[in-house]
Copies of this chain bind each other. A is one copy, B any other.
Amino acid sequence: MINRLVSEIKKKNAPIVVGLDPTLKLIPDFIKEKHFKEKGNTLDAVADAIMEYNTGLVDAVCDLVPAVKPQIAMYEQFGIPGLIAFKETVDYCKKKGLVVIGDIKRGDIGSTSEAYAVGHLSGVTVNGTKLTGFDEDFVTVNPYLGTDGIKPFIDVCRTEKKGIFVLVKTSNPSSGEFQDRICDGKPLYELVADKVREWGEDLCGDSYSYVGAVVGATYPEMGAALRKVMPKSYILVPGYGAQGGTAKDLKPFFNEDGLGAIVNSSRGIIGAYKQEKYSRFGETGFADAARQAVLDMQADINSIF
């Protein structure tokens, strides 16, 4: 799957992943009103609204970007109907040819991580029949529990040729509270990055490993250091746009070949229609606004090479 991600990034000339993080605030009113009218103020109505919003967005950008990253929390908050919308979004995006990164940030002791890994990347075997719970191509994983919390994901990735992105240095303001602590002469995030390199060493695609890392655009200097620590790991870079990261902050995350990083934007794209800059599209033009925001982001990122 890492090979496919890299080849799609090259083909579309867009190291961009669109964060499909629907919130009630972002979904256009005309969509919400329609579904509330149909199904009342219910979670089912919200799920239908999410699907109409997401499919509109995906249809508008699927020829431009290689990948999408639905953040499962934004669906899980709406309970079972929300999680059905998550599953349908994953399936719809795959049908449209997109690589799907499930932003699930799971991680637990070994036997429990195994359950998450089969639940999201491979499927479970029930009485001899292989059944699929969720079916993303990549997932994000939390490293706090150490190697035996990660290994079940790696085992599944090896068999299924799928991948993970391990949280190394996150984009949020207080990420440094623990991640930047100096442990045995190195910041904790670098110790995690050392492990990411190790975990991915014998799990390589043509040029990059199945084991990638998450490093926030909001910390470009750390990105530069981490790029060198994990030369074979793709870096998933959140924090561009709404969270404050700019194009020039992104350069250090890429290798010399212009590869090695994929930049996420969520609100900046899916909520573009709410920005002054794209107000000409109006609420009903939310998908066209998103498309324009992707084109602008692409030009912005390509300006750094």
Which segment, of A93-101, A102-110, A253-261, faces chain B? A102-110
Contact B177 A195 (CB under 8 A): yes
Q: Say if the beta carbon of A148 comes within 8 Å of chain B.
A: yes
Q: Say if the beta carbon of A124 comes within 8 Å of chain B.
A: yes
Q: Say yes or no: A77-B41 contact (C-beta < 8 A), given A146-B179, A174-B147.
A: no
CB < 8 Å neighbour of A87 from B32, B80, B144, B192? B80
Distance to closest chain B CB from A103 (angstroms) = 8
Tell me the bound Cα distance from A97 to B137 in angstroms: 41
Interface string of A42-77 (1 = CB under 8 A from B): 110110000000000000000000000001011011
Q: Say if the beta carbon of A233 comes within 8 Å of chain B.
A: no
Contact A181 B183 (CB under 8 A): yes
Contact A36 B119 (CB under 8 A): no
Query: Which residues of A line the B interface, CB within 8 A?
Result: 21, 23-24, 32, 36, 41-43, 45-46, 71, 73-74, 76-80, 82-84, 87, 105-110, 112-113, 115-116, 118-120, 124, 126-129, 131-134, 142-149, 167, 170-179, 181-184, 188, 191-192, 195, 238
